[in-house]
Structure 1
Amino acid sequence: MINMRKVNILTFPREKHEKIDSLMRELQIRRINEEILDTLIFVEHPEIVTIGPKAKKENILPPKEFKSKFVDRGGGITWHGPGQLIVYPIFKWDLKDEVNTQLIIKKLEQWVISAFRDLNIIGDVDERMRGVWVGGNKIVSIGLSFLKWVSRHGLSINYDTPEGRVELLQGCGLDSGITSSLSARGYNITRIDLERSLLNSIYILGREID
């Protein structure tokens, strides 16, 4: 039987990106030092667009109407706001089959696809961009950074975002309108539904709830 790593769960209703970013940095160092278990954060942010190094280098910026912030995760620009569940795994990925960033991203994709399946949603990957897609629209974005194989940042899942906001952006370099939400695809899913399904499928990451 595979040994599962224990995971601690932290859940916040809605917090500013700056506050959670500071918390992630603290937890990352504590995880490196073996002071804490792997930790999974669930949260939503007030509206903000984060800009990764790729977008900054290519000068792909959001419209001025959006509050924005430069971050050090992989990827381009990503919208955050109400109706989007953010999932931050502060995990130590140093097991034999984990020390590879592409394999880690694939694991995270399969985790979400499994959780979606539990909600009768068919999710898949798409060669156009990493993440999870539903019916030709990108619903889940993934962007990570690592320090000594402990991850920071994570996944954003658009389940019921305000109409037209996430669609307005060229998310992660895709044409506007490609990134969308589950509600726009006709699914009536709550944040509680998503969290429950993700936790039910966490074994896919080789983890179990402490």
Structure 2
Amino acid sequence: MKSGKINRKVEFSIYQTFPYLEALALQRKINSEMINGSGRESIIICEHEPVYTCGIHQDGNTTNLEGVYFIERGGGITYHGPGQITAYFMINLNQRGINILDLINFVHEVEIQYLEQHGIVAHSRLKKETGVWVGNHKISSTGFALKGGFTLHGIGLNVNTDLQKFSLINPCGFDWSVMTSVSKLNGKTYHMEEEKGLFLKILKENLGI
């Protein structure tokens, strides 16, 4: 992502578990503050308790589930839960001189570098398949929203994620069997606080801060 004079003012927050509605409210608050000029760029890294959310592309099976949160991000229905690195990006695209595609490519590259640390070769896909993939399996989902040139929402990267939770939906329009995780690929369970720390380290290195 292109460097800008605000690079050193990015606020990072990392949580063990962050209730989804609280995280959503905080993102929207930061976005509103950035629009009115009082907020600064922020990145939140966390896990959630099990929750299903659906973006503006409401493909996938939502009718058989209760308690799905319909939100303003791109993409369709997905699952967030323990063992998943969920990262939210409140970024000023105008001041950085980038567009939303630039941001997505940047975030995907961070994820790819993170996965390389675990011996996993991954690649980025865009449009309907937007996310990070390992072969023909999806390991991370991407969905951003854009308000006034400022972003919110972000990615869900499966580390120890209970993939069976995806069986209740068609994640972003795909059969749930397309989903995979670091744990499934490598046959081991990871300590999530260490994994979030590693993700944050790679993210900061790519931002140059």
Q: Distance in 2 between matches of 1:163 and 1:132?
A: 16
8 Å contact 1:110–1:204 — kept in the other structure?
Answer: no
8 Å contact 2:163–2:179 — kept in the other structure?
Answer: no
C-alpha offsets along residues 46-66 of structure 1, whole Å, 9 cap, x if unaligned?
Answer: 1111011211xx5x3336356
The two structures have a TM-score, normalised by structure 1, of: 0.85
Give the residue type in structure 2 aligned to 1:107.
F
Q: Distance in 1 between matches of 2:203 and 2:42?
A: 12
Q: CA deviation at 1:135?
A: 3.6
Give the residue type in structure 1 aligned to 2:195.
L
Structure 1 residues 76 and 65, CA, compared in 2 at 3 Å: closer, same or farther?
A: closer
Matching residue of 1:105: 104
Structure with the higher fraction of residues in strand conformation? 1
Matching residue of 1:8: 11
C-alpha offsets along residues 26-45 of structure 1, whole Å, 9 cap, x if unaligned?
Answer: 11122233434311101111
Structure with the higher fraction of residues in helix conformation? 2
8 Å contact 1:119–1:197 — kept in the other structure?
Answer: no
What does 1:1-210 align with in structure 2 at a 5 Å threshold? Answer: 3=4, 5-6=7-8, 7-55=10-58, 58=59, 60-62=60-62, 64-65=64-65, 67-95=67-95, 97-98=97-98, 100-126=99-125, 129-188=129-188, 189-203=190-204, 206=207, 208=209
Give the residue type in structure 1 aligned to 2:78.
T
Unaligned runs of 5+ in 1: none
Q: CA deviation at 1:195?
A: 2.1
The two structures have a TM-score, normalised by structure 2, of: 0.85
